[in-house]
Amino acid sequence: MSNFFRIFGLLLALLFLPSTLVEGSASSSDVNQESELNVKEFILHHVADAYEWHITRIGTKQITIPLPVIVYSKYTGWHVFLSSRFHENVVYQGFAISKSEKFTGKIVEIEQSGTERRPFDISLTKNALSLIISSSLLILVFMSVAKSYKKQGFYPKGKFVAFTEMFVMNIYEEVIKPCVGKDYKRYAPYLLTLFFFIFINNILGLIPVFPGGANVTGNITITFVLAFITFLIVNITGTKEYWKEILWPDVPVWLKAPIPFMPVIELAGIFMKPFALMIRLFANMLAGHSITLALVSVIFVTAKMGAATHTGMTALSVFFSVFLGFVELLVAYIQAYVFTMLTAVFIGLGRVESHKKAKV
Amino acid sequence: MLIAILLQVTTGVGLGEIGAGMGIGLAAMAAGWGIGKIGSSAMEAIARQPEAASDIRMNMIIAAAFIDAVSLFSIVVCGFIL
């Protein structure tokens, strides 16, 4: 098995090697002529959200998919236009993409005094479009699978349905059932949705071209929303015993009576748990994207250092990029799994029953 | 000589950035050590009692997730300093 992976990796490297070499040498003159590639800026630009979907550059021509900009200004009302307007003119209908420190890359309204102000902005950005694509993909996959179950019942099925069933049953039997406890059926829909939502967005993020490539789960607002839903579910469906253990736990009285040490720590724990969930997914996915981009940009950074160094570093970069691609595939699964499992564990902790009754 | 080199580097980079870089390294080292310990114990436990492998694996992942959350906090904070 490992031999197979080694050979496959080698083949992939050979497949990409000539093209990247040509690309590298072609753009080396570009790098010499133009300003030097700023790696940090390049990476930050690629992992951030954007108003257009940048695909590639051929010569000096940028190939992008323009996305609709929908903004509401306090003075001039609603504006709807395509983001490709910003290629023709820097300021369009009083709006521009900011270059200032505060609103880098965001659409701002230029006031008459020249100051920038953020309008109410519900544009369909790259991440939003990616969310729509991944959600429709999820709905498509699971509706078709559910339909085949309805039609055929629990008999031997097609390969794809069986494959999906394997995934679902793995999460259902090994994560949700043991972690949540008694009334796991009530929480199974949310947890399965959570798992497949994170998983499909992670996987789409690994594809470098159009339908994928957006850094959705590496965006802190999205992980914040996921963690916030978990927070709500854990605390709203928490039992009386759960709240009692937080506010008046079974510890010596001096730990909770004059100065409430334990309640304060437990209350902080309520917020820390989803906060950790949020940071974990965000940091993992962001780090994965950044490292991949950094490894690719090694080719362009070493372009000026002579042919031998450049060739060597290019080969090294391709090798490590392929290796990292496989690692990221693993991380995409593990992070979805860990997020789902920890959510299930927190829900299980929120569903505690009184220990005193169980003893008798 | 070492001090001279270090001084030369610090004038170019700034002490805060060196601190942030070292912080990331320390966080990675500590997380690696912690997760390594969990992994080794889990391996031993599975070798002793292979029938409990799935339970042990799940608890191992939970413990490892707590460690990696802490190390990721510190890495994110260091990333802001950088």
ipTM attached to this prediction: 0.70
Residue B63: list chain A partners with CB under 8 A. none
Q: Please list the helix, strand and coil fractions of chain A in percent, rounded to the nearest 5, in that order.
A: 65, 10, 25
Over 70: is that where the pLDDT of A309 sits?
yes
Residue A337: list chain B partners with CB under 8 A. 61
B13 CB within 8 Å of a chain A CB: no
Over 80: is that where the pLDDT of B21 sits?
yes
Residue A284: list chain B partners with CB under 8 A. 72
Q: Is the backbone of residue A277 left (phi > 0), alpha (psi -120 to 50) or beta? A: alpha
CB contact under 8 A, B72 and A280: yes
Per-residue pLDDT tens digits for B51-60: 998 889 888 9
CB contact under 8 A, B65 and A284: no
Order of strands across the sheet that contains A120-121: A77-82, A68-73, A120-121
| Amino acid B73: pLDDT | 80
| Whole-number Å distance between alpha carbons of B34 and B13 | 31
Distance, in angstroms, between B79 CA and closest chain A CA? 10
Q: What is the average pLDDT score of chain A?
A: 82
A224 CB within 8 Å of a chain B CB: no
Helix (H, G, I), strand (E, B) or coil at A125: coil
Into how many domains does chain B fold? 1
Q: Where in the sequence is the domain holding B41, given as residue range(s)?
A: 15-81
| Amino acid A202: pLDDT | 93
Q: Which of A175, A276, A287 faces B69 most closely, judged by CB atoms?
A: A276
Residue B58 in any domain: the answer is yes
| Amino acid A74: pLDDT | 79
- Listed residue (B2, B8, B24, B17) closest to B74, CA to CA: B24
User: In chain A, what are the domain boundaries?
Assistant: 64-121, 126-359
Q: How many cross-chain Cβ pairs, A to B, lie less than 8 Å apart?
A: 32
Q: Which of B62, B66, B73 faces A279 most closely, judged by CB atoms?
A: B73
Average confidence (pLDDT) over A275-285: 90
Over 80: is that where the pLDDT of A150 sits?
yes
pLDDT band at A140 (very low <50, low <70, confident <90, very high): very high
More confident residue, A25 or A324: A324
Average confidence (pLDDT) over A10-19: 45
Tokens 């085949």: give the residue. A148
pLDDT band at A136 (very low <50, low <70, confident <90, very high): very high
pLDDT band at A84 (very low <50, low <70, confident <90, very high): confident
Average confidence (pLDDT) over A145-150: 88
Residue B10 in any domain: the answer is no
Over 90: is that where the pLDDT of A107 sits?
no
Average confidence (pLDDT) over A157-180: 88
Residue B22 in any domain: the answer is yes
Over 80: is that where the pLDDT of A296 sits?
yes
pLDDT band at A71 (very low <50, low <70, confident <90, very high): confident
| Amino acid A7: pLDDT | 53
- Listed residue (A134, A137, A135, A142) closest to A160, CA to CA: A142
Residue B9 in any domain: the answer is no
Tokens 């595939």: give the residue. A329
Residue of A47, A230, A272, A338 to mutate, testing the B interface (most B Cβ within 10 Å of its Cβ): A338
Residue A276: list chain B partners with CB under 8 A. 66, 69, 73
Could you tell me the CATH number of the domain that includes residue B52?
A: 1.20.20.10
Residue of A279, A290, A345, A349 to mutate, testing the B interface (most B Cβ within 10 Å of its Cβ): A279
Per-residue pLDDT tens digits for A231-273: 999 999 988 889 988 888 888 888 887 888 888 999 999 999 9
pLDDT band at A97 (very low <50, low <70, confident <90, very high): confident
Closest residue, chain B, to A340 (C-alpha): B62
| Amino acid A336: pLDDT | 93
Task: State how beta strands A107-110 and A68-73 pair.
Answer: unpaired
pLDDT band at A23 (very low <50, low <70, confident <90, very high): very low
| Whole-number Å distance between alpha carbons of B47 and B68 | 25
CB contact under 8 A, B58 and A284: no
More confident residue, A121 or B47: B47
**Percent share of chain B, pLDDT over 90:** 33
Residue B32 in any domain: the answer is yes
Over 90: is that where the pLDDT of A343 sits?
yes
CB contact under 8 A, A341 and B62: yes
| Amino acid B58: pLDDT | 84
| Amino acid A96: pLDDT | 80
Beta bridge partners of A57: A62
Q: Residue A207 corresponds to which amino acid?
A: I
Over 90: is that where the pLDDT of A201 sits?
yes
CB contact under 8 A, A283 and B62: no
pLDDT band at A36 (very low <50, low <70, confident <90, very high): low
CB contact under 8 A, A279 and B69: yes
Q: What is the pTM of this model?
A: 0.80
Q: Which of B65, B73, B76 faces A342 most closely, judged by CB atoms?
A: B65
Residue B54: list chain A partners with CB under 8 A. 174
Q: Which residues 38-77 in chain B show a CB within 8 A of chain A?
A: 54-55, 58, 61-62, 65-66, 68-69, 72-73, 75-76
pLDDT band at B11 (very low <50, low <70, confident <90, very high): low
| Amino acid B10: pLDDT | 60
B80 CB within 8 Å of a chain A CB: no
Residue of B13, B54, B76 to mutate, testing the A interface (most A Cβ within 10 Å of its Cβ): B76
> C-alpha distances in angstroms, A22 versus A28, A36, B29?
10, 19, 38
Q: Which of B55, B62, B75 faces A345 most closely, judged by CB atoms?
A: B62
Residue B62 in any domain: the answer is yes
Helix (H, G, I), strand (E, B) or coil at A24: helix
